[in-house]
């Protein structure tokens, strides 16, 4: 694995030498780390000194992301597919030896009235936003048990609130929050902390699927979510930040 690190500027809260080494020696894997929120999380973790692994489907974008991040391991896998997911975490274990933090940030979004939502839309949303969390977490579990690690799931305000025209996405994100809460209870005795981040509309590729124009400057920025993830990861072992909601200050779009 390449060990060079990105030379880009650090956000102000990560400028002290202590912050730059806060995650030194830790392996942080971001599923969906090639773009958007996941990419910003990978960047923040790398700046804090972690060994970073990113997982996504599109090889070309993984390459670009790796170049921008500097010194990360990239793994190509569709985490809605069990075999690919299991293989990816096997390779990860072989390369890194251990895993401290799993961030599940893969997801997709469909904006459609219920009566036009097809079974394909339904299935894509359930697989992309819920099955993906199940498969990646299960595949990572042996490594997380060994390290008494952490799981951080990037969910959504749609895990708690209903918005019109998002039935398939909302069903999946409510399910993913339910799964997160069960995991938190089941994995607690194994010393594994499980947290959820619930962002509102965030300035990434995903908002192109919104069925109306949005002012991207008004949205939460991916770096804001990354900052929240970092504070969850850096909380002392005796404290679990269970659920963090982060929304545009001007209200929902």
Q: Please identify every residue annotated as catalytic.
A: 169
In the bound state with ligand NAP, the residue whose beta carbon lies nearer, of 206 and 241, is 206
In the bound state with ligand NAP, the residue whose beta carbon lies nearer, of 95 and 148, is 95
Classify the C-alpha dihedral 138-244-27-6 as positive or negative.
positive
**Nearest in space to 144 (alpha carbons), one of 104, 197, 83, 98:** 98
In the bound state with ligand NAP, the residue whose beta carbon lies nearer, of 78 and 100, is 78
β-partners of residue 55 are 31, 75
| 8 Å CB contact between 211 and 237 | no
Backbone φ and ψ of 50, nearest 5°: -75, 155
Closest contact distance (angstroms) between CB of 76 and ligand NAP is: 8
In the bound state with ligand NAP, the residue whose beta carbon lies nearer, of 34 and 43, is 34
Reading the block at residue 202, the tokens are 């965030």
Q: What is the DSSP letter of 151?
A: E
Closest contact distance (angstroms) between CB of 160 and ligand NAP is: 11
**Nearest in space to 240 (alpha carbons), one of 231, 248, 227:** 231
Closest contact distance (angstroms) between CB of 37 and ligand NAP is: 4
Closest contact distance (angstroms) between CB of 111 and ligand NAP is: 11
Distance of alpha carbon 122 from alpha carbon 204, whole angstroms: 22
Binding region for ligand NAP (CB under 6 A): 32, 34-38, 55-58, 61, 78-80, 105-109, 128-129, 132, 154, 156, 199, 201-202, 204-207
- Burial class (CB within 10 angstroms; exposed 0-12, middle 13-18, buried 19+) of 210: middle
In the bound state with ligand NAP, the residue whose beta carbon lies nearer, of 96 and 196, is 196
- HSE, CB side, 13 Å, CA atoms: give it for residue 96: 30
Residues 6+ apart with CB under 8 A from 219: 200, 201, 202, 203, 207, 248, 253
Closest contact distance (angstroms) between CB of 41 and ligand NAP is: 9
């Amino acid at each position: 694995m390449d060990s060079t690190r990105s030379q880009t500027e650090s956000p102000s809260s990560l400028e002290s030498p202590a912050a730059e080494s806060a995650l030194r020696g830790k392996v942080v894997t971001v599923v969906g780390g090639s773009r958007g929120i996941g990419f910003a999380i990978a960047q923040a973790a790398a700046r804090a000194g972690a060994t970073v692994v990113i997982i996504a489907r599109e090889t070309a974008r993984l390459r670009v992301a790796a170049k921008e991040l500097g010194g990360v391991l990239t793994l190509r896998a569709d985490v809605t597919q069990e075999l690919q997911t299991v293989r990816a975490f096997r390779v990860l274990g072989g390369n890194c030896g251990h895993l401290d933090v799993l961030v599940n940030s893969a997801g997709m979004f469909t904006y459609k009235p219920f009566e036009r939502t097809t079974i394909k839309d339904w299935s894509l949303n359930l697989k992309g936003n819920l099955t993906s969390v199940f498969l990646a977490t299960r595949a990572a579990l042996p490594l997380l048990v060994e390290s008494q690690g952490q799981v951080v799931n990037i969910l959504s305000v749609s895990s708690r609130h209903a918005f019109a025209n998002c039935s398939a996405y909302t069903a999946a994100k409510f399910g993913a929050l339910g799964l997160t809460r069960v995991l938190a209870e089941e994995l607690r005795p194994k010393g594994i902390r499980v947290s959820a981040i619930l962002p509102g509309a965030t300035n990434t590729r995903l908002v192109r699927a919104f069925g109306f124009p949005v002012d991207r400057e008004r949205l939460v920025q991916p770096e804001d979510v990354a900052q929240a993830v970092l504070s969850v990861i850096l909380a002392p072992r005796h404290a679990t930040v269970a659920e963090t909601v982060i929304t545009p200050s001007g209200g929902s779009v």
